[in-house]
Amino acid sequence: MIWTVRQYGLPFLLAVSLHLALAAWIRGVWQPDRADPLDAFKPKMVHSTLLVLEPKAQPKPAPPKAQPQNQQKPQAAPAKTEPVKPARPDPAVEAARRKAEQEEAARLNAARDKARAEEAARQQRLQALAETAFLNSIEDESQDLAQDAADEAETVAQSYRYGIYQRVVANWSRPPSARNGMQARLQVELVPTGDVVAVMLIESSGSAVFDQSAEAAVKKAGRFEVPKENALFERYFRRFTLLFKPEDLLR
Amino acid sequence: MPEQLSIFELIANASALVQMVMGVLLMASLSSWVMIFQRWIFLRRVSVEVDTFEDHFWSGIDLRELYRELDAEDVLTGIEDMFVAGFKEYTRLSDQSGADTEAIMQGVQRAMRVSLNRQEEKLETHLAFLATVGSTSPYIGLFGTVWGIMNSFRSLANMSQATLATVAPGISEALVATAMGLFAAIPAVIGYNRFSARVEVLMKRYETFSEEFTAILYRAAHAKR
């Protein structure tokens, strides 16, 4: 027994540590690859949603957005210029430093306030958008009920919707973390040719990776089959919400 | 594409059979590395011991003295064991009256051959295991890969529109098994070749020593007459 331990203890330790080192190395090699595109992706997403929102949600969300920025900018501007000034007179170095520290703190506070205000504004806008989308859909439905002819239009739209959904699913690359039952609600905007001009997440599935994959799927699909009649397109496909809920997940 | 898969996620998401294959390969790799390190340490020690023993043997020391010295030790290394076996047989046979030189030398050679065989067995321990890992683990890995790809294509049949993105994760996941098989096999094959070459060198030295030692004893037996 002791003999065995003496003969195989060191080799065993060496072998295990070799494998652990290899696993750590592989992890290190694969990780940056994995992190970088995600990092690069996030800001892009945020950016695009902001750009999309501004022209559309002008009536309601514009005032709250304008306010915080107007308030914060004058605050932030003097904070940036002032700390340079007290540094110039050399004698009162101590006082200058203290002042600079105060300025720094003020600037940080201002920045934080600004970020918070922007976040709040964004939330508000998102909510407003979701609401309008909801109202639109309700309106659609009530109109459908009122008009018998619209029933047919609805079925046509439904078949197109199904086609769009199939295309999104086909272009979707399943992230490993995707599980059955996940669903994300996206708002998609099309131009009459069927090209996607904007995709926006309005209801998260809870998994950021899944949300991104859904958005990416719509973007990748690029172009959808849409009705040729302008009225139908304007009513159903200019801007519509898409409940992305894949049921045929692999596992 | 946005999603870069981590190798560990791939392994965690693989099907049960592929995971089993990966587990077997991991065990094979671990144990073959244990064998490699163990053999490496062992064979290096043995060749150092052979060097020191040969130096000692050819330093002109009295063989009886050397025998008594070694007989007191509890653990004998390969070449020492051969010397002790040969010399013990020689003293035993030459003490008996009436034994002729040829009979003595035959007995000595037989004793040393037995010891030599035992040493060879000791030197070659685990080499067969390394050879097995080296030759079979690529196939095991390949089996896991084929199975994984089979599954990923089968699930592709349910999709109306096949894109690379729908099969790629499955294939990537399955290929991990082949990678692991190769990872286990390559060191095992290298280790096997290297160690069997070393064992051969050591066996040559043992045989040479046994010839030389027999010649010395033969001379001694003749001189006694």
In tens, the pLDDT along A53-87 reads 555 545 554 455 444 444 444 444 444 444 444 44
- Lowest-pLDDT choice from A25-39, A60-74, B126-140: A60-74
Of B29, B34, B166, the CB nearest to A12: B34
Which sign, positive or negative, has the C-alpha torsion A78, A80, A86, A89? negative
Fold held by A93-251: 3.30.1150
Q: Do B33 and A41 touch (CB under 8 A)?
A: no
Provide the shortest C-alpha distance from residue B154 to chain A (in Å).
10
Which residues from A are below 8 Å from B9, CB to CB? 176-177
Over range B117-138, report the average pLDDT.
92
- Decide which of A43 and A183 is more confident: A183
Taking a C-beta distance cutoff of 8 angstroms, is the pair A223, A175 a contact? no
| Residues A100-109: tens digit of each pLDDT | 888 888 888 8
Record the tokens describing residue A236, joined without a space. Answer: 């159903």
pLDDT greater at residue A178 or residue B126: B126
Q: Which residues of A touch B158 (CB under 8 A)?
A: 248
pLDDT value of position A233: 84
Residue A48 has pLDDT above 70, yes or no: no
- Rounded to whole angstroms, the maximal C-alpha distance in chain A is 91
For chains A and B, what is the number of CB pairs under 8 angstroms?
89
Check if B97 contacts A (Cβ < 8 Å).
Answer: no
Q: What is the pLDDT of residue B5?
A: 60
With an 8 Å Cβ cutoff, the interface of chain A facing chain B consists of: 7-8, 10-12, 14-16, 18-19, 26-27, 30-31, 33-34, 37-38, 41, 166-167, 170-177, 209, 212-213, 216, 248, 250-251
DSSP calls for chain B: ---PPPHHHHHHHS-HHHHHHHHHHHHHHHHHHHHHHHHHHHHHHHHHHHHHHHHHHTTT--HHHHHHHHHH-SS--HHHHHHHHHHHHHHHHHHSTT--HHHHHHHHHHHHHHHHHHHHHHHTTTHHHHHHHHHHHHHHHHHHHHHHHHHHHHHHTT-SS--HHHHHHHHHHHHHHHHHHHHHHHHHHHHHHHHHHHHHHHHHHHHHHHHHHHHHHHHHHHHH-
Structure tokens at B18: 């592929």
Q: Is the pLDDT of residue B27 over 50?
A: yes
User: How far does the CA of residue A166 sit from the closest CA of chain B (Å)?
Assistant: 8
ipTM of the complex: 0.76
User: For residue B221, what are the contacts with CB-CB under 8 A and spacing of at least 6?
Assistant: B90, B94, B101, B104, B105
pLDDT number for residue B189: 95
- Tell me the domain boundaries of chain B: 2-224
Average pLDDT rounded to a whole number, residues A1-25:
87
Task: In whole angstroms, give the CA distance from residue A216 to residue B165.
Answer: 12
Around Cβ B181, how many Cβ atoms within 10 Å? 27
State the average pLDDT over residues B47-65: 88
pLDDT value of residue B135: 95
Interchain proximity A11–B35, CB inside 8 Å = yes
Q: From B137, B154, B162, B156, select the one nearest B31 (Cα to Cα).
A: B137
* Mean pLDDT calculated for residue range B41-48: 92
Residues of A in contact with B26 (CB under 8 A): 19
User: A31: which chain B residues are within 8 Å (Cβ-Cβ)?
Assistant: 6
- C-alpha distance from B56 to closest chain A C-alpha (Å): 26
pLDDT reported for residue A39: 41
Instruction: Say whether residue B157 is in contact with chain A using an 8 A CB cutoff.
Output: no
| Closest Cβ opposite residue B2 in set A30, A212, A250 | A212
pTM over cut 0.80? no
SS (H, E, C) chain A: CHHHHHHHHHHHHHHHHHHHHHHHHHHHHHHHHHHHHHHHHHHHHHHHHHHHHHHHCCCCCHHHHHHHHHHHHHHHHHHHHCCHHHHCCCCCHHHHHHHHHHHHHHHHHHHHHHHHHHHHHHHHHHHHHHHHHHHHHHHHHHHHHHCCHHHHHHHHHHHHHHHHHHHHHHCCCCCCCCCCCCCEEEEEEECCCCEEEEEEEEECCCCHHHHHHHHHHHHHHCECCCCCCHHHHHHHHCEEEEEECCCCCCC
A154 versus B23: which is more confidently predicted? B23
Q: What are phi and psi of A224, to 5 degrees?
A: -120, 160
Q: How confident is the model at residue A36 (pLDDT cuts 50, 70, 90)?
A: very low
The whole-angstrom distance between B213's CA and the closest CA on chain A is: 31
Q: What is the mean pLDDT of chain B?
A: 87
